[in-house]
Structure 1
Amino acid sequence: MSLHFSVLASGSTGNAFYIGTDKAKLLVDAGFSGKQMEQLMDTVNLDPKELDGLLVTHEHSDHIKGLGILARRYKLPIYANEKTWKAMEGLIGAIPTEQKFIFDVGSVKTFADIDVESFGVSHDAAEPMFYCFHSMGKKVTLVTDLGYVSDRIKGTIRNSDVFIFEANHDVEMLRMGPYPWNVKRRILSDVGHVCNEDAGLALADCIGDKTKRIYLAHLSKDNNIKDLARMSVSQTLQEKGFAVGEDFKLYDTDPKVPTKLAVV
């Protein structure tokens, strides 16, 4: 028995995350077409028919594009909070009542041997939330789409074995880039996205003795690059006294290619 996971894809164009054990298999978000989601899962030898649930973080299209298709095709239950369900109306098509479940912010749901803890984040969606997964003494945290990282969030996610954490943009690339100013202002705001340096600073407050892996996620395709994100976060953590590469390792995620199925 083991807890295993894969960041199936992550970026400004789409996001999907898998985590499971021998007894429970969960997908968080489905930000690609149904066909693309099937292909991503097949790449790491996962079968959508075996999923026990689809968990939703928020209603933005890069997180729910294929949600309705997968749910209907494989008769999968969807879990989201009430405000997110309301915001998804008209975006994911009709979902049978027996496949619709409420998962409140700040609550815990148990799927066999995985306890899923939800927590709210600051982002410009109806009621965005992300998750900590607890199983067999291990803790995996998935958190992107952050305007800023509050002390409450830090307390919830602290000392995870694995972090999948947002490093969305380089501030100078964003400022100098082609986006309209209103879009730049939204990204830089407290309900936007976390930049590389702020990701490093937040992680410095959350890394614990158990932490072994950090995956940098939700990189902007226009305002960031993998090497820059990794260098910026690593430098910030080193300045805070962490031995990056020794105490824990930093990993990239990709908008099209899944990470290897890893065991915690």
Structure 2
Amino acid sequence: MKEKGFRYSILASGSSGNSFYLETGEKKILVDAGLSGKKISQLLAEIDRQPEDLDAIFITHEHSDHIQGVGVLARKYQLDVYANQKTWQVIDQQNLIGKLALEQKHVFECGKLMTLGDLDIESFAVSHDAVAPQFYRFIKDDKSFVMLTDTGYVSDRMSDLLANADGYLIESNHDVDILRAGSYPWATKQRILSDKGHLSNEDGADSMLRTMGQKTKRIYLGHLSKENNIKELAHMTMTNHLLKADIGVGQEVKIYDTSPDNATPLVTI
């Protein structure tokens, strides 16, 4: 009997590196590999998985905290790598992941749905200061999980497109007051706060309220800045927003923290 749904773990999430693992009965994939190949292998070991069992890596955009280990892993374990055409052009022009065999490189354009084995994967655009950033919704057996980080805002159209998933990884990058008072140069602060930057704790919570639905049971807070956020503050902000909307936190839906250094437990959705 085939196992329903899929299993996943957020291996790492934060400004220093990002990687997401998902498996079905037929496929094992990563989304992004923004740490060293060695570190990603260690994170996979935390959930009793091995890099040699992977089938593919899906790239969201070309920033180093999302692709640092892609080339090393793809070459060592002969993995297929998926990204849109514009992202591939930047990666190749700037030699960001080194040389890959042509048959390993695949184009997956934004706004498309593809099937990989027994898993459906939908790509969608976000607003970030990369050439053509895209994130993903994973669908199997009427279950779905959405990754949504590295965006300056979430439009109503995006909320409608991604509505009512079973689980979300949502960006809670910074607390606006901490960022404004911090040591970053003003130009960097402006970039983070812009429509092509990152979601604040408040923005992430507001976006989640507009996007989640009756099926939503798990919300993971992702891409927290070490310098401009506090894990407890991000968690409290999301909790308070949901409680004000009469959503039973801990009963109807659970909120989970992520880490740049440790994998979340492997769970089935």
What is the CA–CA distance in structure 1 between the aligned matches of 2:217 and 2:133, rounded to whole Å?
27
1:54 aligned partner, one-letter code: I
Task: Give deviations 1:27-86, integer Å, cap 9, x for gaps.
Answer: 000000111111111111112112121000000000000000000000001000001001
**Matches of residues 143-182 of structure 1 in structure 2 within 5 Å?**
143-182=148-187
**What are the superposed Cα offsets for residues 148-167 of structure 1, whole Å, 9 maximum, x if unpaired?**
00122111211000001100
CA distance in 2, matches of 1:71, 1:47: 14
Mapping 1:1-264, distance limit 5 Å: 1-2=3-4, 3-89=6-92, 90-264=95-269
Distance 1:109 1:42 in 2: 29
User: How many residues end up aligned between the 2 structures?
Assistant: 264
Q: Residue 201 of structure 1 contacts residue 237 of structure 1 at CA under 8 Å; is this kept in 2?
A: no
What's the TM-score, normalizing by structure 2? 0.97
Q: C-alpha distance in 1, partners of 2:8/2:47? A: 10
Per the alignment, in what secondary structure is the counterpart of residue 122 of structure 2? strand
Greater mean alpha carbon deviation, residues 53-62 or residues 229-238: 229-238
CA distance in 1, matches of 2:135, 2:191: 20
1:193 maps to a residue whose letter is H
Q: Percent identity?
A: 50
Q: 228-237 or 97-106, which moves further after superposition?
A: 228-237
1:237 CA displacement:
1.9
Residue identity opposite 1:190 in structure 2: D
Gapped regions of structure 1 (runs ≥ 5): none
Q: Deviations over 1:190-227 (max 9, x none)?
A: 00000001111111111111100000000001011110
**Are the equivalent residues in 2 in contact too, given 1:197–1:233 (CA < 8 A)?**
yes
How far did residue 176 of structure 1 move?
A: 0.5
Q: Which runs of 4+ in 1 moved over 4 A?
A: none
SS at match of 1:39: helix
TM-score, structure 1 as length reference: 0.98
The amino acid that maps onto 1:148 is Y
